A and B are shown apart, each in its own frame.
Chain A
Amino acid sequence: KAGVTQTPRYLIKTRGQQVTLSCSPISGHRSVSWYQQTPGQGLQFLFEYFSETQRNKGNFPGRFSGRQFSNSRSEMNVSTLELGDSALYLCASSLGYVTGRVTDTQYFGPGTRLTVL
């Protein structure tokens, strides 16, 4: 079974621009989560989408947004880029069914390395 794929792998943008990152989950997975990884802040949760709806949201400004399509593929958009947005953006997919009895394991893609100049 193919893993989580993310495109592009590397991006260079300048301040003020916007960027869109793409994530294709593992086949059959309906949940896609996004994380930001930086040396200073570590791994931080951005948001989660399940069945085309945002189900959870982290503590990031409104410049960070996302969406999910009917085939579970997800995109993340960052508008008005700032230098501090330089990071590795990781996408994770899972089945998406969370209950008190069953864990929902997240599988990560290789990430998109965004550099803002």
Chain B
Amino acid sequence: AQSVTQLGSHVSVSEGALVLLRCNYSSSVPPYLFWYVQYPNQGLQLLLKYTSAATLVKGINGFEAEFKKSETSFHLTKPSAHMSDAAEYFCAVSDRDGNNRLAFGKGNQVVVIP
């Protein structure tokens, strides 16, 4: 079964600094990859997705992620953190064989320090 690994449950970043959240997937065939964000007491909002059209994917709110097959990674970055980026971020994977289920990582709780 597909899976993703997110290391470091809590990530602290200073306002204006780079945000980097790591995600590694386990698959010999590049899957579909997603990053979702969850604000307190809310559902998940899609930030961006990888569909194999381009390895560098731009999403909402200034986030982007780069797919690297050689590293089986799909790390999420934002050049300059804003206070409003404080939230929990989830990497998710689904495979390409018609199975529509998402497998999520454990999530990263991002704290932005003023």
Q: Which residues of A contact B (CB under 8 A)?
A: 4, 6, 31, 33, 35, 42-45, 48, 50, 55-56, 58, 90, 92, 94, 96, 98-100, 103-111
Partner of B101, one of A6, A48, A90, A99: A48
A92 vs chain B, min Cβ distance (A):
8
B106 shortest CB reach to chain A, Å: 5
Residue positions of B touching A, CB distance < 8 A: 32, 34, 36, 41-46, 49, 51, 90, 92, 94, 96-107
- Contact among A42, A55, A103 with B51 in the assembled complex (CB-CB below 8 Å): A103
Q: A115: shortest Cβ distance to chain B, in Å? A: 14
| Number of residue pairs spanning A and B whose beta carbons lie under 8 angstroms apart | 64
Question: Judging by beta carbons under 8 Å apart, are B106 and A105 in contact?
Answer: no
Q: Once the chains are docked, how many angstroms separate the CA of A43 from the CA of B94?
A: 14
Contact of A58 among B46, B51, B101 (CB under 8 A): B101
- Of B42, B96, B97, B101, the residue contacting A33 (CB under 8 A) is B101
Q: Which residues of A contact B36 (CB under 8 A)?
A: 108
The contact of B100 among A4, A42, A96, by CB within 8 Å, is A96
- Which of these, A4, A43, A92, A98, contacts B98 with CB under 8 Å? A98
Give every chain B residue within 8 A of A103 (Cβ-Cβ): 32, 49, 51, 94
CA distance A71 to B53 in the complex (A): 33
Q: Are A56 and B106 in contact (CB under 8 A)?
A: no
When distances are taken between beta carbons in the complex, the residues of chain A under 8 Å from B44 are 90, 92, 108
- B43 lies within 8 A of A106 (CB): no
Contact of A56 among B45, B46, B90, B101 (CB under 8 A): B101
Given contacts A103-B32, A103-B49, A103-B51, contact A110 B42 (CB under 8 A): yes
**What's the minimum C-beta distance from A106 to chain B, rounded to whole angstroms?**
6
Contact present for B100 and A100 (CB under 8 Å): no
Other 11 A-B pairs with CB < 8 A, given A33-B100, A48-B101, A94-B100: A31-B100, A42-B107, A43-B102, A45-B103, A99-B98, A103-B32, A103-B51, A105-B34, A108-B43, A108-B44, A110-B43
